[in-house]
Chain A
Amino acid sequence: MSTKTVDARRRTAEWGAAVLRVRRVACAGAILTIGLMGCTAEAQTPPATQTPTAEASPTPTETPAATASPEVSRISVQLNPDSVTAGESSTVWILANCPAPQGGPAHTGTATSRAFVSGVTLNPATSTASPAPTGNAAGDWVRGQAQVSGTVKRGSYTVDVKCDGTGHSGRATLRLTRPEPLPSDVPTKAPKAGGGGTYGKDVDEGSPIPLGGVGAALALALAVGAGVAVKRRRS
């Protein structure tokens, strides 16, 4: 190609035409070279992508960087238990892998969910015993207990956790499941264990009447009564 351009320049008799031709040739040459380069590039790339080493090496190094940059702040959130029975009020532990902030802000987090009676503050240490995080439990954890009302319907509920001070956040899913059916031999109604004889009679709860005595008296009265009844029936 370069020899062609050189030749063209030496033929300086017809300037304009020559310049034009040179340009054309240069263009053609350029196109050719680009084309060739493209060709060679194309020819070279497929083997490059096909070789397992060439393909494998960029993937692991690039993917984490790609996902990490938009979601730097995703942290692990665990629920204990992660499934409760719908229709019953229950208590759920939330454990979040919130990193301890440098300097000022307190190491706390906040957990919110539509299934919770109210939002919960998560703290690094709690006074009551709490379950330990499972799996990869490295790093700093904050935890707290949330109440799930018995009025929450069955389904999956997102639990969102925000770490105070560092801006990290994460989420987990709490499941409210259908209650297991009661065994068939269990009563289905509340017992009616009273006749109403003492209601409204205002015997105050701390009354000194010893029930043992009352019970004994009652039993005695009953025995006598039964005896009388039997006698009457017989006579």
Chain B
Amino acid sequence: MAGSGRVVLAGAITGLVLVAFGQNLQQPEEAAAAVVPETIDIPSIDVEAPLMKLGVKNGEVELPPFEKPGTAGWFTGSAVPGEKGASVIIGHVDTKTEPAVFYKLRQLRKGSKVRVKRSDGKVATYKVDAVEQVHKDDFPLRKVYVEDGLKLVTCGGRFDRAKGEYDDNIIVYASRA
């Protein structure tokens, strides 16, 4: 009993030492790049959701799977919230059957707070500047993906049953508070 306890303890210490050393070695180049946003918190519309990573495929940004309706995603090609540049977080308005994480996004109003918790423990706080509904053909790529600030994106408007998608996007623009 006591012997196994010692082994576990020794293992844990070794692990800790390794982790500490590993972090020390990696910190210079990887610390900044490794930080990711982990959760998004929008108290005014009762959103508190985990964030997954979204890449881009054939010009289209990936989306959280419908099987995870409560999860929003951070576009990995955008800035980590709290850093300079455009940060983009996307979430479904609904699945094929029920409301999803950004169901109430269009209800956000100017001044509402948005908090993003990062893997380094920092919390980036934003305040909403504008909420806009635009047709997908007129999606403001530059404003969303290039210009400074946090952008929250979901769908809205009429649902085109033939195409299986909404006609419009709801975009929330927020700046550092």
Q: Which residue of B lies closest to A150 (CB)?
A: B138
Q: How far is the CA of A137 from the CA of B72 in the complex (A)?
A: 52
Q: Is the CB–CB distance between A198 and B103 below 8 Å?
A: yes
Query: Assuming A182-B142, A187-B145, A200-B159, is B61 touching A194 (CB within 8 A)?
Result: no
B-contacting residues, A181-200, CB 8 Å: 182-183, 185-200
Query: Assuming A191-B60, A191-B90, is B136 touching A198 (CB within 8 A)?
Result: no
B-contacting residues, A178-219, CB 8 Å: 179, 182-183, 185-200, 203, 205-206, 209-216, 218-219
Q: Is A222 interfacial (CB 8 A cutoff)?
A: yes
User: Which residues on B sit within 8 Å (CB–CB) of A194?
Assistant: 92-94, 100, 154-156, 159, 165-166
Q: Is the CB–CB distance between B98 and A218 below 8 Å?
A: yes
Q: Is B70 interfacial (CB 8 A cutoff)?
A: yes
Give a binary string over B123-163; 1 marks a CB under 8 Å from any A CB, 0 the rest.
00000000000001101011001100000011110110100
User: Which residues on B sit within 8 Å (CB–CB) of A195?
Assistant: 66, 92, 94-97, 100
User: Which residues on A sit within 8 Å (CB–CB) of B47?
Assistant: 211-212, 215
**How many contacts A-B (CB < 8 Å)?**
135
A-contacting residues, B91-114, CB 8 Å: 91-104, 106-107
User: Which residues on B sit within 8 Å (CB–CB) of A88?
Assistant: 142
Q: Is the CB–CB distance between B102 and A193 below 8 Å?
A: yes
| Least Cβ–Cβ distance between A185 and chain B, in angstroms | 5
User: Which residues on B sit within 8 Å (CB–CB) of A186?
Assistant: 56, 77, 141, 145-146
Interface centre among A88, A195, A213, A215 (most CB of B within 10 A): A195
Chain A interface residue bracket vs B:
20 to 34
Chain B interface residue bracket vs A:
35 or more
Q: Is the CB–CB distance between B97 and A187 below 8 Å?
A: no
| Least Cβ–Cβ distance between B84 and chain A, in angstroms | 15
| Least Cβ–Cβ distance between A40 and chain B, in angstroms | 76
Q: Is the CB–CB distance between A219 and B70 below 8 Å?
A: yes
| Least Cβ–Cβ distance between A192 and chain B, in angstroms | 5
Q: Is the CB–CB distance between A218 and B70 below 8 Å?
A: yes
Q: Is the CB–CB distance between B56 and A185 below 8 Å?
A: yes
Q: Which residue of B lies closest to A188 (CB)?
A: B59
User: Which residues on A sit within 8 Å (CB–CB) of B91?
Assistant: 193
| Least Cβ–Cβ distance between B65 and chain A, in angstroms | 10
Query: Assuming A192-B165, A193-B155, is B67 touching A222 (CB within 8 A)?
Result: yes
Q: Is the CB–CB distance between A190 and B94 below 8 Å?
A: no
Query: Assuming A182-B142, A199-B166, is B63 touching A192 (CB within 8 A)?
Result: yes
Q: Is B68 interfacial (CB 8 A cutoff)?
A: yes
Q: Is the CB–CB distance between B46 and A218 below 8 Å?
A: no
Query: Assuming A188-B59, A212-B48, A219-B70, is B98 touching A198 (CB within 8 A)?
Result: yes
Q: Is the CB–CB distance between B63 and A191 below 8 Å?
A: yes
Q: How far is the CA of A211 from the CA of B166 in the complex (A)?
A: 21
Q: Is the CB–CB distance between A196 and B98 below 8 Å?
A: no
19 CB contacts below 8 A, A to B, read: A88-B142, A179-B142, A182-B141, A182-B146, A187-B141, A191-B153, A191-B155, A192-B63, A196-B164, A196-B166, A197-B96, A198-B94, A199-B159, A210-B46, A211-B101, A212-B46, A213-B46, A215-B69, A222-B67
> A residues bordering B, Cβ < 8 Å?
88, 179, 182-183, 185-200, 203, 205-206, 209-216, 218-219, 222
